[in-house]
Every structure is written in structure tokens, then in C-alpha cells.
Structure 1
């Protein structure tokens, strides 16, 4: 009798059950409500305006998934945030990562239903599928949608940027330009961790007011500035270190190479070009998140894709870079570094 079981297959195949339960909890702000204190199932239903049928199944499912704690059993049982939930899923926590989950719920969850079509056609399955407009044009045309996207990127990037600010050797450098800098998060984290560094966050002009506000809130306006421009149409600001956090994977190979060449031109001799991504392992066997993120790039852009450290080194070597390193960051992400 075979000892093989289908449990792993079924867990993955029905994984959207767990995913949507978490995404709905984020949408309903359950973790933020529980930050005020433990609640019974009935109190949760009242606080979140849930139908009586939703409890206790909804909070108990989150307990079974390890996303909530529960003290006791039955109607008097009280639910509370886990330590991870309190830190990362309370919208009022400075470490909140729910922004990316809010975007996943509002956008990506439904687009992934059309993955099969994307695999067969190679075409995006997001907002552009019906409008024909480029994804970023649609995203940036509504200020509220733009800020939601910026906050989503901040949430998923925070741990990686913080690790980069601490792990990278900045001793030989004085200036940094973060290309596609969004809210200025990476620039602020580097400036905070490295008092000798002055940083520029470079992004499209309508992002600049958001970044300027965030930089001021961080109290770093003296060493961090937001500059508007188009990183394909305009030269990149010159700096000792040029970073791109989750930027290079947004583009096809031709545009990836254009950005690498522009970074090379903007750097001095000895300067460093750094990309922060969920780098796929060179053998393409282990980093499932990086590979799934590459499929997400197919859904979002069609011809965009994630890549390995070896891929990055090959493209950068062709552009003139001569020395390379990969620095592990948080979870499945790394910083790939090319030195001029």
C-alpha cells in the first residue's frame, strides 16, 4: 500500500480558501479592531457588521490558520491578535504590511482568476485588458488608487529596505538615488541608518508630493529629497549608489537592459547599482515566491518577468559592470549588487 497522500496537492489547490479568508479579514479591519482588546465571536460580528452565520467559523478559521489566538471555547471564548498579527496586520502599527494585502484583495485576487488565459496568450489580465492603456497610466490616473499602490509597495518592501540599509557597506559612499522611489521609503531608511548619506527618491512628478510628505513625517527632509522625472525619458540623477527596489522586474528584457545602462552612466567609477527583488534562485527550484511573483508580472504586464542573480550579473556585465554580489535580505528577497 502506497504511503503517498494527496494532502499537499489539495492544500495548494484549495489554497485560495485560506488566502481569501485572510484578505477579507484585512478588508474588514479585523486585526485593527482586535488591537483594542480581545473580543468574543458575537462582539466581532457586531464590530464588523457581520451576519450571524459568519461566526464562529470566520474567527475560528483564522485561529486554525495561526492568524488569531483564542482563549477558551464556546460563546464566551475571546479572540485576540497573535504577536505577528499585532505587529504586521494592525493598520495603526508602523510595521503594517496589510497595504499589499489590501491591493491583492482589491486587484490581484480577481486578475489571477485569468492566469490560464495569461499563460496561453502572454497578455496582461489586469485593468489594461479592457482599456488597452498601460498599467501604470491607469494606476496613476486616480490619486487614491496611486496612494493605495504606494502604500502597498511600502508594506511589502519595508523589511527588505531596512535590512539593506543595515547590511550594505555604505562606508565608501556619500550619496544614493533610489530610482522609482515611490514614497521615499528606501531613501529614508538608508538616511536613518547611515547618518553620512544624502539620498534622492526619483519617481514620476505626481508621486513627488506623496514622497515629500512622507519624508517630512520621518524628519529627514534635510538629507532626503524627492525629485520628479521619467526614468526612461530622463537621465538618472548622479549618485554613488543607485538603487531600484522592485522596479527592474516590471519590464521586459529590452527595457531592463535600458535601465541597467542608464544606471551605469549615472554612477562614478567604484559606484554601486543595487536591485532589491525576490530574486529567483539560479537553479529555479527553491524560491517559489520569486517564481510566483514572475507569474504575477505576466498577469500585470505580459512581457515583464522576475529573474535570477545570474541573469542580473550577465546583463550588468554586458553593460560594463565588473564585480557582483548578492546580499540576502528578508524572507525570499535579496539585494543584487553590480559595481562599476
Structure 2
């Protein structure tokens, strides 16, 4: 008897945008923050979030079925509660809140991904550049509100990898770190918090520096973490014996990737290390789904930016002069490529 074929995976993937939008709308409405530790009935959610009565019970029950909420009881008296994960990661009262990246997905990327077919046919970005003629970054850096939203989103998507890097890589032989494209300075703050001997510089464009300074001051680490500004394609990188780049290389085409790797090599002393944190794709290009989808996101956002495998980054680093490259798994789909000079 022939094997019974099952279309359920095809249908689950094909309708995946339904589940995605339910989560993204819940984050936009701050549902998880509204529930907090106490929970609420369906009627409480209608009142607290300003929902139409028709939204309940379908909306919160869909979140229950997706494993994103718990529910005590049934019917109109049922109480909805956060799961341990949503309370930790999606309640804005939590210091581990990662909703910033989901807010950006909802506000920007959800509609841009509707034009993926056009991107695949043309190789052109499908974001704001279609309407303004400018690339993503000038538009972003000209709008302080959007810039800060983007910076906070990058914190959310990167924090797990930052924490793992601080715990896994041996920083004991190094004294100074320069985080290139450091955004809010979060990686520098994590490293300085874990390793009291380190002095860290977060380096980004001038428009970002005030955001980083505020974040550093709020963390109480201004004595060991400083914000510096410049253009990493034009200006020398600040002196350090470790240079880090997190979710920076994938923004660029190969020629610009190589320029950044060369700049890092030239900035480092002998014995220094470059640490590249990315969603590094497995060499067989079969397993890291998030890394592959992120590379398609670079097509949507930038056209010629792309993610890469461990073999790719190893080859590029050796081409600019690094002697040895290790690939270190971090959190989830994230890994670090460690290149030693």
C-alpha cells in the first residue's frame, strides 16, 4: 500500500502568517503587559485593550492554542494568563522584554514581505526605498523615533546571543573591546557587566551616539563603557584588542563585507580577536531556517545584503590575514565567528 501523504505541513507553513499576525497584534496592543502577573477575563481584555466584543474569545483563545497564553476555566469567566515565557519576554515590565523586534516586524516588515516575489524577481529591496528612492539607512537615521525603535528592536533580537557570548568566550586575556555598529551599546554593557576588567567602546554613527550615552548612563557603567561616533567605512576603528560586530556584516554586499573585515584586521594588535555575531548558516544550508530567512530579509531590506555560512566567514577572514577562525554556537540560531590575528 502506498504511503499516505499528509499536506498538513504545507498548510501550516502556507497559513503561517495568520499565527504571526496574531502574535504581532498582541504585542502591538500590549496584551501581555496588560495581563502581567495577574491575568484577566475576556471581558477585562475587551475593556483594558479597547477591543471590539467580537475579538473575544477567538483572539485570546488563538493565543492559548499557539502556546502563548494559559487559560484557567472556560466560558465568560475564564481567566487568561501569561505563560512563563511571555511574562518574561513580552511583558514590558520585564527587563528581559524582547518585544521591540516584534514591534518592528509588525510596523514595517510584515507588509514589506508581501512583496517577496517581486524581490526574488528583481533583486531589489522592497522597503521604504520603493517610495523614497533612498536606501533603508538614510531614511532611518533621519527619523529619531524610527531610529530608536530600530535600535531597541536590535537589542531584542540580539540579547540571547550577547549573554551567551559573555558567558562562553574567554575574555580573560583581553582588556579592551570595540563594538562596531554598537547601536544602543547593549553588547558593551553585557560584556562590561560580566567582566569587570574590560573597558568597552560602542562605535556607531553620530545620530546613534546620544541613544547609546543614555543607555550607558542608565546602566551605571559610564566609568568603563564609552560611546564613540564615526563612519566605519571611512574612519579608523577605536583602539581595542577585541573588535566585535553583531548583525552588521549581513547588511552589506561582499565588497563591503571585506572592507569591514579588513578594517577590523588593521585595527587589532597581534594576538587580538575579531568576534562576528550573526545567525550563521550551517555549511550544508539545510538546518538554520532563521538564518536563511534572515538572508531573504536582507534582500527585502537592502537588496544586495546577505547572510553567510561558517565556511564563508572563515574564508573571508583568512583572505584579509587572520590566522585562525573558530565558529562558536551561542543562543538559538546565533553563532560567533572568532577570528584571531
Once residues 146 and 264 of structure 1 are traced to their aligned partners in structure 2, the CA distance between those partners, rounded to angstroms, is 29
Q: Kindly state the Cα deviation for residue 2 of structure 1 after the two structures are TM-superposed.
A: 3.1
Q: Kindly state the Cα deviation for residue 93 of structure 1 after the two structures are TM-superposed.
A: 0.8
Once residues 196 and 302 of structure 2 are traced to their aligned partners in structure 1, the CA distance between those partners, rounded to angstroms, is 38
Once residues 38 and 242 of structure 1 are traced to their aligned partners in structure 2, the CA distance between those partners, rounded to angstroms, is 44
Once residues 160 and 167 of structure 2 are traced to their aligned partners in structure 1, the CA distance between those partners, rounded to angstroms, is 11
Q: Is the 8 A contact 2:37 2:87 kept in 1?
A: no
> 5+ unaligned residues in a row in structure 1: which ranges?
none
Corresponding residue of 1:214: 215
Once residues 221 and 323 of structure 2 are traced to their aligned partners in structure 1, the CA distance between those partners, rounded to angstroms, is 34
Q: Kindly state the Cα deviation for residue 37 of structure 1 after the two structures are TM-superposed.
A: 1.4
Instruction: State the 4+ residue runs in structure 1 displaced beyond 6 angstroms.
Output: none
TM-score, normalized by length of structure 1?
Answer: 0.99
Corresponding residue of 1:157: 158
Corresponding residue of 1:140: 141
Once residues 274 and 140 of structure 1 are traced to their aligned partners in structure 2, the CA distance between those partners, rounded to angstroms, is 26
Corresponding residue of 1:334: 335
Once residues 161 and 291 of structure 1 are traced to their aligned partners in structure 2, the CA distance between those partners, rounded to angstroms, is 21
Corresponding residue of 2:41: 40
Matched, 1:325 2:323: no
Once residues 133 and 323 of structure 2 are traced to their aligned partners in structure 1, the CA distance between those partners, rounded to angstroms, is 40
> 5+ unaligned residues in a row in structure 2: which ranges?
none
Once residues 270 and 125 of structure 1 are traced to their aligned partners in structure 2, the CA distance between those partners, rounded to angstroms, is 42
CA RMSD of aligned residues (A): 0.7
Once residues 15 and 91 of structure 1 are traced to their aligned partners in structure 2, the CA distance between those partners, rounded to angstroms, is 25
Q: Kindly state the Cα deviation for residue 36 of structure 1 after the two structures are TM-superposed.
A: 5.0
TM-score, normalized by length of structure 2?
Answer: 0.99
Give SS of 1:326's match.
strand
Q: Paired residues, what number? A: 340
Once residues 217 and 166 of structure 2 are traced to their aligned partners in structure 1, the CA distance between those partners, rounded to angstroms, is 19
Q: Is the 8 A contact 2:240 2:268 kept in 1?
A: yes
Once residues 94 and 334 of structure 1 are traced to their aligned partners in structure 2, the CA distance between those partners, rounded to angstroms, is 23
Corresponding residue of 2:202: 201
Corresponding residue of 1:291: 292
Q: Kindly state the Cα deviation for residue 134 of structure 1 after the two structures are TM-superposed.
A: 1.7
Once residues 39 and 239 of structure 2 are traced to their aligned partners in structure 1, the CA distance between those partners, rounded to angstroms, is 52
Once residues 163 and 216 of structure 1 are traced to their aligned partners in structure 2, the CA distance between those partners, rounded to angstroms, is 24
Q: Deviations over 1:108-134 (max 9, x none)?
A: 000000000000000000001111112
Once residues 246 and 119 of structure 1 are traced to their aligned partners in structure 2, the CA distance between those partners, rounded to angstroms, is 22
Give SS of 1:125's match.
coil
Q: Deviations over 1:160-198 (max 9, x none)?
A: 101101111111100000000000000010001011100
